Amino acid sequence: MSQGELTTFLGWFTLLNYGAIAFSFLMLTILRGPIMAIHSKATGVPEAELPVLYFQFYALYKVIIMIFGLIPWIILRYIM
């Protein structure tokens, strides 16, 4: 895989993952009640604890996207 192909891959990887996180956040905001009920029943976690878990999930997901997608993409763009 060439440097250009890797840069393109990382760019799309980052864009698609940020799109997925934005879509899931939007759906969680719009359909909060039904989604929390489904997750609570599926996992056995009380609905009162779910907002904290959602926040932790989004924080970790954003950090992972930055570490494995955005930062390498920025570095490769700078090198090219």
- The number of distinct structural domains making up the chain is 1
Domain interval for residue 55:
3-79
Helix axes 50-65, 32-43, angle to 10 degrees: 90
- Cite the DSSP H helix spans in the chain: 3-30, 32-43, 50-65, 71-79
The pLDDT tens digits of the residues spanning 21-76 come to 999 999 999 999 999 999 999 999 999 999 999 999 999 999 999 999 999 999 99
Contacts with 5 (C-beta within 8 Å, 6 or more apart), sequence order: none
Q: What is the pTM of this model?
A: 0.83
